[in-house]
Amino acid sequence: MVNSASALTAGGQCAKALMALPLAANGWRFEEAVCRPASGFTTTWAHVKGASFVALPKGAALVSPGQAASDRSLSALPGSPPSSLPLLTRDQAAATMYDLTQSLAAQLILSWDAPEQYKIDEETTVSAPWQRGQFELTQVPVAALLEPGLFEALGRYPGTMVLSLSRKSNELTLKGCIYANTAQR
Q: What is the pLDDT along the chain (185 residues), one digit of tens a residue?
A: 344 435 656 677 777 777 778 888 888 988 888 888 777 788 999 999 888 888 888 889 999 989 999 888 766 444 444 556 788 899 999 998 998 899 889 999 999 998 888 888 888 888 888 899 999 999 998 888 777 677 877 877 888 888 888 988 788 899 999 999 887 65
Cβ-contact 159, 149 below 8 angstroms: no
Cα angle 153-154-157, degrees, rounded to a multiple of 5: 95
| Percent of residues in the chain assigned helix, strand, coil, to nearest 5 | 25, 40, 35
If you count them, how many residues does the chain have? 185
Whole-number Å distance between alpha carbons of 130 and 184: 10
